A and B are shown apart, each in its own frame.
Chain A
């Protein structure tokens, strides 16, 4: 399998060449173009029960698509994400990674998509009652709205709730007010996420909820 992220950080898209017999799993609606010989099969994202949980409480789609190359030669497929922004690839070697709702894009065989209880605080922050955990051996691609920033956390770090994209499972997330009661609500920051522990987090430079709150007053 050859995979290349193209389009820069503004309009990342994923160009994949599947060799004979290879397959890739992608988020529903991620395919923008593909060779007509590829076979697409749709299945629930896990068991029916966990898929339903993922959709209702984890912010992911109920179904995912699996593209298989059943021909004898290489086949091309292009995968995209709905928001303009950066795509990143992570190679998992038995470890796992937590993804925020909607960030997951595609994964190779050997990667499992699981759910983990995220807690009521996460739900209040509108990040879903469960969090998506990818684990296993293989490559995972995830995307964001805007560019991605990486940060090593040792101790604690504060991130605006809607900007967190992925984080090490060992990190603990807590919800808190950005400052005092007054500055939190009038300073426009509201609730923030406090990340505690040691590990890596990835932040997106834009947020869909930020864009939505900018559009809303302009609608009539």
Chain B
């Protein structure tokens, strides 16, 4: 599997080249174009192993219930992926490790990668943003998308990230939900509310824009939804 990112960072699309025998798993709705010999199967979990429970868990995580598997039938093939929000994408090569991805940021991965719901404990409920996380495990390439640019933060010790700005982080990091300011009152009044405090050593990938904040700037002008 060969991933090429083009038109970064504003209108990023990912071109994935697949050789015969290779399979790429993607979130439903991510495909924008593909070669004619591509065989698409839609399952609720990993190919050839239906797991409805895991799929339901994924739906709770803000991802789709279904996953699409792309496999070229004869010879090589290619498939293009695009995200709904304007922004950058990133690839990550898993080497027998885990990457925790924020609900909506997962886009595609190699067949060999295990997709599961990362339950980060009860504290996830408090973070307000995406309650659930997708846990990508194993060996292989992963494709993630973001709203805005992606910047990595190397954490060694402690670092604070606003919950709407997390794209993914290494499993070596531990996080807790905390206040941004000196006091709880300041944190809530200051509009920062609850933030994630990462501890340990590893990388957090952050997105420069927060879908929630963008939504808030639009909402005063939007007409009310009809019942």
Q: Which residues of A contact B (CB under 8 A)?
A: 6-8, 10-13, 15, 28-29, 31-42, 61, 63-65, 78, 80-84, 102, 208-209, 211-213, 215-216, 219-220
Rounded to whole Å, the gap between the CB of B161 and the closest CB of chain A is 4
Additional pairs, 15, CB under 8 Å, beyond known A13-B149, A82-B217:
A7-B149, A8-B10, A29-B190, A31-B162, A31-B180, A31-B192, A32-B208, A33-B159, A34-B159, A36-B157, A38-B160, A40-B182, A42-B187, A42-B189, A63-B190
B186 A42 Cβ-Cβ under 8 A: yes
B222 A82 Cβ-Cβ under 8 A: no
Closest partner residue, chain B, to A77 (CB atom): B160
User: Can you list 8 A-B contacts (CB < 8 A)?
Assistant: A6-B151, A28-B190, A33-B160, A33-B161, A33-B206, A34-B159, A37-B158, A42-B186
B217 A8 Cβ-Cβ under 8 A: no
Question: Contacts A11-B9, A29-B191, A40-B190: A80 and B218 contacting too (C-beta < 8 A)?
Answer: no
Q: Which of B187, B197, B206, B223 has a CB less than 8 Å from the CB of A78?
A: B206
Q: For the complex, what is the distance from the CA of A81 to the CA of B151, rounded to whole Å?
A: 15
Rounded to whole Å, the gap between the CB of B170 and the closest CB of chain A is 15
A13 B148 Cβ-Cβ under 8 A: yes
Rounded to whole Å, the gap between the CB of A174 and the closest CB of chain B is 24
A83 B149 Cβ-Cβ under 8 A: no
Closest partner residue, chain A, to B153 (CB atom): A33
Closest partner residue, chain A, to B178 (CB atom): A36
Q: Is the interface of A mostly helix, strand, loop or mixed?
A: mixed
| Count of chain B residues near A, Cβ 8 A | 43
B191 A11 Cβ-Cβ under 8 A: no
Point out which of B151, B185, B192, B222 has the most chain A C-beta atoms below 10 A from its C-beta.
B192
Q: For the complex, what is the distance from the CA of A104 to the CA of B122, rounded to whole Å?
A: 36
Produce 1/0 per residue, B201-227, CB < 8 A to A.
000101011100110111001110110
Q: Which residues of A contact B225 (CB under 8 A)?
A: 219
Q: Which residues of B contact A208 (CB under 8 A)?
A: 217-218, 221
Q: Which of B87, B147, B192 has a CB less than 8 Å from the CB of A40?
A: B192
Q: For the complex, what is the distance from the CA of A6 to the CA of B106, rounded to whole Å?
A: 24
B181 A42 Cβ-Cβ under 8 A: yes
Q: Which residues of A contact B221 (CB under 8 A)?
A: 208-209, 212-213, 216
Closest partner residue, chain A, to B165 (CB atom): A32
B88 A11 Cβ-Cβ under 8 A: yes
In the complex, whether B86 has a CB less than 8 A from a CB of chain A is yes
Produce 1/0 per residue, B89-103, CB < 8 A to A.
000000000000000
Question: Contacts A10-B10, A10-B86: A82 and B208 contacting too (C-beta < 8 A)?
Answer: no
Q: For the complex, what is the distance from the CA of A148 to the CA of B150, rounded to whole Å?
A: 22
A84 B187 Cβ-Cβ under 8 A: no
